[in-house]
Amino acid sequence: MIRTALLVAGKDLRIERRSRVLLWQVLPFGVMGLVLSGLALGPTHAGHSSAGPGLFYLVMLLVTLLMINRSRVIEGSVGTRTSVATLGLDPAGVFLGKALALAVELWVTGAVLLAGAVLVLHTALVGTLQALPSVVVILAALAAAGTLYGALSGGGQGPATLLPVLSLPAFAPLLIAGERSFSASLHGGGLWQWWVISIVALAAYLAVGILLYGVLEDS
C-alpha cells in the first residue's frame, strides 16, 4: 500500500512539477482570491484582522476544488484509465498517494497564502505561526476528503461541476473548525476542541478512503 502510495504521489507531483500549474496558475489565483475577497468585503470589514482566518480558508477551499479537478484531469482519458486499471493498483494506495500529492500542493499554497494574509490582511504574525500545526492538519484533511469526493464525482474529464456540490457540505465542518482554531490562536480562546475535530476528521477521511476508495473507482 505504502509503495503504491509513494508511486502514485510521485507520478502526480512529477506531472505537476513538469506543467508548473501550481506555481503559475494556482498560486497567483490564491493571492488574487485573497486580494479580491478583501475588496468584496469592502475596506471596513477587510481592514479587520478578524476576517483573516475566514478568508484564508475560503480561498484555500477554492484552491482545493481547483486542485482536485486538476488531480482528476491528469488521470487522463478513458483509454488511459482503462490501461491503468489493468495495472491492478491497490486502491488504498492510490487514494493515499493522490491525497498525499494533493496535501503537498495545498501545504505549499497554504504557506504562501498565510504569508499573504499576514502582509495584506494584517493577520498577527505570532498567532499565525501558532495556528500553523492546525492549518497543516486541516489542509491534509481537505486533501483526503477532496480526493475521496473527486473519485465520487466520477473520474477523468467528467463533469467537473459536480464536484463542488458534492464536496462543499463535507468541507464546511473542516472550514469551520479551521477558521475557529485559527481565530482562537489569534485572539486566544479554547483551542483543543477544534484540534480534536480536525484530527478526527483527518483520521476519518483517511480511514474511509483507505477502506472504500476501491468501491468508488469506475468498475
Partner 1 sequence: MKLLSQRLLGPVTLALLGLTFWLGLWVTPPDKAQGNLARLVYVHPAVAWVALYVSFGTATIASALYLWQRTRSMVMDRVAHCAMEVSVVFILLTLITGSIWGRPTWGVWWAWDARLTSTAILGVFALAYLALRRANDDPDLRARRAAVFAILAAINVPIIHFSVQWWKTLHQGATVFTSNRQLLIHGLMAWTLLISFLAFTLLFFWLLRARYRLEVLRSERYDVFVAEALAQRRREGVR
Partner 2 sequence: MVTLRDAVVLVGGFPLLSGLNLELEAGTLSVVTGANGAGKTSLLRLIGGLVGLTSGSGRVSDIDLATGDLRELRRRVGWLGHEGSFYDDLSANENLAFAAKALARPTNEIAGVLDRVGLTSRASMPAKLLSAGQRRRLGLAWILLRRPALWLLDEPYASLDDEGRTFFDQLVGDVVESGATVLVSAHDPLRSSTLHPRTLTLAGGLVVGDRS
Instruction: Give residues in contact with partner 1 (CB under 8 A).
Output: 20, 24-25, 28, 31-32, 35, 38-39, 42-43, 46-47, 119-120, 122, 148, 152-154, 158-159, 162, 165-166, 168-170, 172-173, 193, 204, 208, 212, 215-216, 218-219
What string of DSSP letters covers 98-151? HHHHHHHHHHHHHHHHHHHHHHHS---HHHHHHHHHHHHHHHHHHHHHHHHHHH
CA distance 57 to 34: 10
Is 23 among the residues that bind its own copies (CB under 8 A)? no
Q: Is the dihedral of CA 105, 107, 111, 113 positive or negative?
A: positive
Residue 204 interaction partner, one of partner 2, its own copies, partner 1, none, beta carbon < 5-8 Å per kind: partner 1
Contact 151, 213 (CB under 8 A): yes
Place of cell 494574509: 117
Partner whose binding site includes residue 154, from partner 1, partner 2, its own copies, none (CB under 5 to 8 Å by kind): partner 1
Question: Which residue shows C-alpha cell 477502506?
Answer: 211
Which range touches partner 2 (CB under 8 A), out of 6-14, 34-42, 51-59, 128-136? Answer: 6-14
Quick check: helix, strand or coil at residue 76? Answer: coil
Task: Decide: 100 and 206 in contact? Cβ < 8 Å.
Answer: no
- Grid cell at residue 195: 484540534
- Using CB under 8 A, which of 45, 85, 119, 204 touches its own copies? 45
Nearer to partner 2, 90 or 179 (CB): 90
- In 3D space, the residue among 152, 203, 151, 150 whose CA is nearest the CA of residue 174 turns out to be 203
Alpha helices in the chain (DSSP H): 2-19, 21, 27-47, 51-73, 78-85, 91-120, 125-152, 162-187, 192-216
CB closer to partner 2 out of 72 and 180: 72
User: Per rule CB under 8 A, is residue 159 in the interface with partner 2?
Assistant: no
- Per CB under 8 A, the list member of 8, 55, 135, 210 interacting with its own copies is 55
Name the minimum Å distance from CB 7 to partner 2: 5
Q: Does 188 bind its own copies (CB under 8 A)?
A: no
Q: Which residues would be at the binding site for its own copies (CB under 8 A)?
A: 19, 21, 24-26, 28-29, 32-33, 36-37, 39-42, 45, 50-51, 54-55, 57-58, 61-62, 66, 69-70, 73, 157, 159-162, 164-165, 168-169, 171-172, 175-176, 179
Q: Which residues would be at the binding site for partner 2 (CB under 8 A)?
A: 4, 7, 11, 14-15, 18-19, 74, 76-80, 82-83, 85-89, 91, 214, 219
